[in-house]
Structures are given as C-alpha cells and as structure tokens.
Amino acid sequence: MNLKNHPLFQDLSESDLDQLYHAACMRSQFFEKNQMVFHAGDRICEVGIVQTGNVHIEMIDLWGNKSILSSIAPGQIFAETYAICRKPLLVDVTAAAPCEILFLNLEFLARSFSEPGSCRDAIMQNLFAICVRKNLILSNRIFCTTPKTVRGRLLVYLSSESAKAGSTSFTIPFDRQGMADYLNLDRSALSKELGRMKKDGILDFKKNHFILYQNPL
C-alpha cells in the first residue's frame, strides 16, 4: 500500500513518512485469523490501518452474544476515536483473516512533532476528516437494524450496499454469519428469508455476491 495515497497521509512527503518511521511513530504487525488485535477495556494510543486482510469490530454482551459492528478492509483505519480520547475500548478488534496492520502511535507523534506546521498537524486534520466520514458510515448500521422484520433489514442493508457499489450487482464484505451478526439476526432466519426473497424474484445471490432485480415495494 502506497501510504502517500492514503487519506490519513495526504499532503505528506516521502521525507515526512521517513521521519515518522525513524521516530518510531509507525510499526507493522502481522495477525493470524481470529487473533485479537485489541481487547475491550484496553486503553490505546495507536490508530490501526489495515494493509492486507481485514478485521472485525465486535461487541460481546454479558451472555456471550457477538455482534459485528463493522468490517475493516485494506486501506481503512480503526480505533481512531479511542486513540484520540484515550478511553477504554468498548469493543474487541479481531483479525477476520490473516492480516497485516500498520499502527500509528498518536502519543509518539505528539512528542516527536510538536512544532506548528509539522506533519502532525496535517495528520490530525486528516484524521478528524476520516472520523466524520466514518461516523456517517456507522450511522448506516443503525438504519439497517431499525426495521423489525428480517426482510426489512435485508432490504435496507442490500439497498445500501447496492448504492455504494453504484450497481444492482455487488459483493458484500460478510459471509452469512457475519451478515447475521451485523444485522443482529439469527443466521438460520436470515438464510431462510434470503431463500424466500430469491423465490419472490427480488434478488439472486451466490455466496456473498448479490444481484437485486426489482423494487420490492
């Protein structure tokens, strides 16, 4: 991944990036599938950037029920809000596949680049812009889980994914269990409803690729 093209590092030069590495502000780490990246309760000062693979932001309730709040793909960042405010994490971050993650240490960044106009200023400005965009994305999950019926949630979610792809043929970032967790649904109920929607001519699918055929209203 070319860091100069990443939204977090836009307007930075190669020299700026080299200085970040030399000041130990950035490090890379490999994680196996299902390995924990961060645990709920951790206090962190690092922002994670997925370079390869993907990670899941998960919440597990008192009874052990897991909900996937977000799937983080290559090039996307995570844990930025907790790294900024230094509050304990309310979620787990887990490697959903073998992945390599680049970590940016905001504490080291503040210590090493305290001068006005340094690369720290540009990075923090970029980071806040990313936070705003991500808040909009996270609010989409609220919309997806608002409908009371299984079909209603599927229609909202798949319509949203179709709009993002700019096509009625698109691929979602979840397998069936991940999709069920994201929508707060039972996997069996989700699979049955997808089968009924396919029979009704609303959609077709193969694994995590979907095609929407008609307006179901």
The pLDDT of residue 141: 82
Question: In percent, how much of the chain has pLDDT > 90?
Answer: 67
Given a cut of 80, whether residue 138 has pLDDT beyond it is: no
Residues 204, 103, single domain; the answer is no
135 and 31 in a single domain? The answer is yes
Average pLDDT of every residue of the chain: 91
Q: For strand 209-212 and strand 92-95, is the pairing parallel, antiparallel, or unpaired?
A: unpaired
**CATH for 125:** 2.60.120.10
Q: Examine the pLDDT at 216 and tell me if it is beyond 70.
A: no
CATH, residue 177: 1.10.10.10
Domain contains 217? no
Residue 14's contacts (CB-CB under 8 Å, 6 or more residues apart) are 4
Number of H helices, E strands in the chain: 7, 11
| 72 and 167, same domain (yes or no) | no
Q: How far apart are CA 52 and CA 74, in angstroms?
A: 5
Please say if the pLDDT value at position 215 is more than 80. no
Condensed to tens digits (0 to 9), the pLDDT of residues 75-95 reads: 999 999 999 999 999 999 999
Given 108, 143, 178, the domain boundary residue is 143
For residue 96, is it within any domain? yes
32-35: list long-range contacts, CB under 8 Å, 24+ apart.
32/95, 32/98, 33/95, 33/96, 33/97, 33/98, 34/94, 34/95, 35/94, 35/95
